[in-house]
Chain A
Amino acid sequence: MVKRVSALLLLFVFMGLQGISVVADTDNVIDQPGFLNESEELELQGIIGDIEDEYNMEPVIVIVNATEGKSSMEFADDYFDYNGYGSGEEYNGILLLINMEARELWISTTGKTIISKYNLLTQTMVDRITPHLTNGDYYEACQEYLTLVGNVESSGKLDPFGKRILSMMKSPIPYIVSLVIALIATGIITFSSKGKVTTTSRTYESANSFKLTNQLDRFEREFITKRKIETKSGGGGGSHTGSSGRSHGGSGGGF
């Protein structure tokens, strides 16, 4: 990646020297308000190119001042569909929309495999990116986004193994689980040390002496209750169909 970026930079510097104005190829990084400088855009485009080459899915970053009256979700989905993004037959790809008008971000996924792969992850991605946007660090937000996409593509998880271990170690859950289980195990061993009763209600019963003299099961009444089955709500996952007719997944939030 570094190689490619530096090669691009070299090319850029060389062209600059030549005095020829060249618009670099940053098709996947659209920055209307101009929050990113050119080298940042090139850097991001480089990373996107690597992901696209390696994993056959196309990441896109779109920063806009206005969404033409569409919701962030609609705008993101349509932007992806009508600008020819997506790899392969399923148009695999993921788009990060930073909507400055509503101060919202939306991550839209396209393609059956991508939608299901990111189904439970987009909300966490939104949560990880939001703080950068709140701080006005648009470049860091984009970098975080591409790092997360890269991680998901390479391992199916948002974080590399080492980082997941670290975050589990910091989490209180393993401490609670281990203390509770150890407490139960110690308690069982401590209190089971005495021995237990091994006689039953039949131990002293003389053989075949048990006789029922009265056995009655009388039906009295019945009730039927009916309850509507709650259909599961999307919950940040699920898929919907955009205006182009293609399915998308995604999550979003304000910043």
Chain B
Amino acid sequence: MSNIKEYDCPNCGGSLTFDPPSEGWKCGYCFSAFNKEEIDKIYGTTESEQLDEEALELDTYHCDSCGAELIADDTTSATFCLYCKSPTVIKQRFKGSFQPKYAIPFKLTKEQSVDIYKKWINKKLFAPTSFKLDDEIDKLTGIYAPFWLFDCDAHGATTGSGTIVTSWRSGKYQYTKTKHYHVEREGNVRYEKIPVDASTKLDDKFMTMLEPYDYKEIKDFSMAYLTGFMAEKYDVESTESEKVMKERAEEFVSKRLRETINGYSTYVASSNSAQLHDVLNNYALMPIYLLVNQYKDEKHMFLINGQTGKVVGETPIDHTRQAIFFGVVSACVWVITVLGGAIFG
């Protein structure tokens, strides 16, 4: 077994964890700080290439009630399941391969994310007050979510008919001229790192809303980024995800081509096509803060982009608040309409 077991502080031997604001590592005991180069120097460079099962000592937390599986090194442990809140999580030694190519490190700390979430939920007019003040917010957890990032070349074509309508007045007549054109567009475009959520536990729709991540900060994966956070292993195969990506990329191409059809009053496509080739995929981890909050027996999932701070999620709706809002708005509009009608009518 290799000695890359955990990231110990070279000064005092305590555990190092990743510190988002400094994008470096900090020792929880003696507060020493290290950057990526220093870590690589101490623990050996090009770790991603060395990632083999023996080199890693990872734990996996398996949830008995919902089947979720989270990976963590020994700086992090789970006492409840992040997805279903069940305490029946079983810690096991991780077996298998876990070799992401890229990772975007966390940029927000848990405290910052809690603040962002609080601000966001407080703006939700119809969210129940008890839900807004819920202590559960403290259970917000940073996890690296699995993604497939696809690179591909795309070719698209559209054919259709466009019209230019002009209208003018002459004497007692209104003239309308409609010119018909045959329109063709064909083009190539390259896409890089189109992300597709590779976890069945995370809602695809929400994950798409969390985008975009800033790829300028993408790094080659290193186990060191995992310290202090949990990660999920993909459970959607890349072939499955490719279908999702294909649909998106094809939509991008046809939108892009449509944007080049300018100056027409109307355009009706008679045929649209898109082909992708040279599709490449890479396994990557993206930072998210996850909060599953229960309200009246229903689970509500909230996700925060761990890099940009964008929040998505479905808040429960308090029907009383909704009814009050409806009543107040309709009363105000009624008064304005009556007054306006009386003054200007």
Do A and B interact?
yes
Interface residues of A (CB under 8 A from B): 161, 164-165, 168-169, 171, 173-175, 177-179, 181-183, 185-186, 189-190, 193-199, 201-206, 209-229
Is there an interface contact between A219 and B179, defined as CB atoms closer than 8 Å?
Answer: yes
Instruction: Give A127 to B325 CA distance when docked, in angstroms.
Output: 41
- The listed residue (A174, A201, A209, A216) touching B338 by CB distance below 8 A is A174
CB distance from A128 to the nearest CB of B (A): 15
Contact of A227 among B173, B327, B341 (CB under 8 A): B173
Q: Which of B175, B188, B315 contacts A213 (CB 8 A)?
A: B188
- Say whether B187 contacts A189, CB under 8 Å: no
Q: Which of A171, A183, A201 has the most chain B CB within a 10 Å cutoff?
A: A201
- Secondary structure class of chain A's binding surface, majority of residues: mixed
How would you classify the secondary structure of chain B's contact residues: helix, strand, loop or mixed? mixed
CA distance A44 to B148 in the complex (A): 90
Q: Name the contact of A210 in the complex, choosing from B212, B256, B329 (C-beta under 8 A).
A: B256
List, in ascending order, chain B residues with CB within 8 A of A222's CB. 177-180
In angstroms, Cα B192 to Cα A50, docked, is 85
Closest to B151 in A: A206
On whether the beta carbons of A228 and B172 are closer than 8 Å, the reply is: yes
Min CB gap B224→A, angstroms: 28
Q: Is the CB of A205 within 8 A of B182?
A: no
Residues of A within 8 A of B280 (CB): none
Q: Mark B103-131, 1 if CB is under 8 A from A, else 0.
A: 00000000000000000000011110000
**Contact indicator per residue, chain B 308-334, by CB within 8 Å of chain A (1) or not (0):** 001111110100001001110111111
Does B206 sit within 8 A of A, measured CB to CB? yes
User: When the two chains form their complex, are residues A218 and B211 in contact, meaning their CB atoms are under 8 A apart?
Assistant: no
Question: Chain B contacts of A164 at CB under 8 A?
Answer: 341-342, 345
A195 → B minimal CB distance (Å)? 3
The answer to whether B172 and A193 touch across the interface, beta carbons within 8 angstroms, is no
18 cross-chain CB contacts under 8 A:
A161-B342, A165-B342, A168-B341, A178-B330, A178-B331, A181-B333, A189-B125, A190-B126, A193-B315, A193-B317, A203-B211, A203-B212, A204-B252, A205-B192, A215-B184, A215-B185, A215-B260, A221-B179
**With A178-B331, A201-B252, A229-B169 as given contacts, are A195 and B206 in contact (CB-CB < 8 Å)?**
yes
Given contacts A204-B194, A222-B179, A198 and B310 within 8 Å (CB-CB): yes
> CB distance A198 to B329 under 8 Å?
no
Q: Across the interface, name the chain B residue whose C-beta is closest to A224.
A: B177
Residues in B whose Cβ lies below 8 Å from that of A179: 330
Q: Given that A181-B333, A202-B256 are contacting pairs, would A189 and B325 also be in contact in the complex, using a CB cutoff of 8 Å?
A: yes
- Contacts between the two chains (Cβ within 8 Å), count: 183
Complex Cα distance, B333 from A183, in Å, reads 11
User: Given A186-B322, A193-B314, does the pair A216, B251 have CB atoms closer than 8 Å?
Assistant: no
Q: How far is the CA of A198 from the CA of B206 in the complex (A)?
A: 12
Closest 5 A-B residue pairs measured CB to CB?
A195-B312, A214-B186, A182-B330, A178-B333, A174-B337
Q: Give the B interface residue count (CB, 8 A).
A: 67
- Closest Cβ of chain A: how far from B3's Cβ, in Å? 40
Does B243 interact with chain A (Cβ within 8 Å)? no
Set of chain A residues within 8 Å of B125, measured between Cβ atoms: 189
Identify which of A186, A197, A209, A226 contacts B173 (C-beta below 8 A): A226
Q: Is B90 an interface residue (CB 8 A)?
A: no
Complex Cα distance A189/B312, Å? 15
Q: Could you tell me the distance between the alpha carbons of A250 and B177 in the complex, rounded to whole angstroms?
A: 41
The chain B residues found within 8 Å of chain A, CB to CB, are 124-127, 157, 161-162, 169, 172-194, 206, 208-209, 211-212, 251-253, 255-256, 259-260, 310-315, 317, 322, 325-327, 329-334, 337-339, 341-343, 345
Within the complex, the shortest CB–CB distance from A166 to chain B, in Å, comes to 9
The distance from the CB of A254 to the nearest CB of chain B, in whole angstroms, is: 27
Query: Contact between A178 and B182 (Cβ–Cβ < 8 Å)?
Result: no
Q: Which residues of B contact A209 (CB under 8 A)?
A: 188-190
Residues of B within 8 A of A175 (CB): 334
Cα of A179 to Cα of B187 in the assembled complex, Å: 49
Contacts of A174 in B (CB 8 A): 333-334, 337-338, 341
Using CB atoms, name the residue of chain B closest to A220.
B180
User: B258: shortest Cβ distance to chain A, in Å?
Assistant: 9
When chains A and B are docked, how far (Å) is the Cα of A96 from the Cα of B292? 77
Give every chain B residue within 8 A of A183 (Cβ-Cβ): 326
CB-CB under 8 A from A189, the residues of chain B are: 125-126, 325
In the assembled complex, the Cα of A165 lies from the Cα of B315 at a distance in Å of: 41
With contacts A165-B339, A197-B209 known, what are 6 further pairs, Cβ within 8 A? A171-B341, A189-B126, A193-B314, A209-B190, A214-B186, A227-B175
What is the bound-complex CA distance between A3 and B193, given in angstroms?
91
* B161 surroundings in chain A (CB, below 8 A): 220
Find chain A residues with CB under 8 A from B315 CB. Answer: 193
B56 to chain A, nearest CB (A): 31
Please tell me which one of the listed residues A193, A199, A228 contacts residue B208 in the complex, with CB atoms under 8 A apart: A199
Per the bound structure, the CA–CA distance linking A193 and B325 in Å amounts to 15
Contacts of A226 in B (CB 8 A): 173-176
Contacts of A214 in B (CB 8 A): 157, 184-187
Chain A residue nearest in CB terms to B211: A199
Give the complex CA separation of A11 and B174 in angstroms. 67
Q: Are A229 and B173 in contact (CB under 8 A)?
A: yes
Residues of A within 8 A of B314 (CB): 193-194
| A186, B329: Cα distance in complex, Å | 9
Q: In the bound complex, how far is the Cα of B310 from the Cα of A196, in angstroms?
A: 10
Q: Which among A161, A171, A220 is the interface contact of B181 at CB below 8 angstroms?
A: A220
